Copies of this chain bind each other. A is one copy, B any other.
Amino acid sequence: MEQPAGEGPKYRQLQRRLAELVATELAAGDRIPSERELTARFSVSRATVRQALGALAREGVLERRHGSGTFVAERRVTSRLHLASFSEDMARRGLTPTTRLLATERTGASDEVAAALALSPGAPVARLERLRCADDRPMAYEVGHYPLARLPGFLEHELTGSVYELLREGYRRPPDGGQQLLWAEAASGALARLLEVAAGAPLLVFERTSLSRREPIEHTVSWYRADRYRVSMELGPN
């Protein structure tokens, strides 16, 4: 029951171990050991194993097949929404991206950030606060968190450019998937001034967790000026 060094609950530990295993040693379609085998191998109860596997299945890492086994999920090909960085996104639209760095700091992961990045609460993360501009006019305000354990020395880099490029080139951790929540909000006073819109103006908010090799490497929340930005997407059945 007790965990010596901030490792978190057993099922989280198991979840992380399995996620790592999947990321490093297994390929899509591979079958992972059965629940009862994992129970024996890791000396935990089957309920604990199921809690870990269930979480991974909900994340889309694993796929369960009743009567057959649990498998490494196929990479999603149906989603045609691009996992693009702001810089790439703007370039694609023919605009010139620039960035004003508002704040950087090294801090401990909040519960929410820890959950998104699959870290223990309090684990070291880099926090990045940036104002993204297109053609020198404000486009979006962005707050990002990055796991320092997976990205050592992250804050020592140049951070006004494309973080995705840094992840790809500097760390060999190309973002290759993610999940995103999207909603709309009215701009609060401070945010309105920063983005140079009227208070109450509609903003599009994206909360994104990006993965590389099935491990979270970025968690960002971005507020976009709705008068300058829209999204296009393809829809599939189901």
Contact = CB atoms under 8 A, between A and B. Distances in A.
Interface of A: 58, 60, 75-83, 174-186, 200-204, 208, 210, 226, 229-238
Contact of A231 (B76, B174, B183, B238): B183
Nearest to A82: B238
B184 A235 contact: no
A176 B236 CA distance: 6
Of A82, A83, A208, A234, the most chain B CB neighbours within 10 A belong to A234
A63 to B, nearest CB: 13
A19 to B, nearest CB: 17
A183 B200 CA distance: 16
Contacts of A236: 75-83, 177
Contacts of A182: 182, 230-233
Given A58-B58, A202-B202, A202-B203, A183 B230 contact: yes
A185 to B, nearest CB: 6
A78 B217 CA distance: 21
B76 A180 contact: no
A110 B174 CA distance: 45
Nearest to A232: B181
A183 to B, nearest CB: 4
B235 A79 contact: yes
Nearest to A179: B234
Contact of A176 (B79, B178, B237): B237
B230 A181 contact: yes
Nearest to A228: B183
Contacts of A210: 235
Contact of A200 (B79, B81, B200): B200
A210 to B, nearest CB: 7
Given A179-B233, A233-B233, 5 more contacts: A60-B234, A76-B183, A82-B236, A82-B238, A83-B235
A65 to B, nearest CB: 12
A64 B187 CA distance: 28
Contacts of A226: 183-185, 202
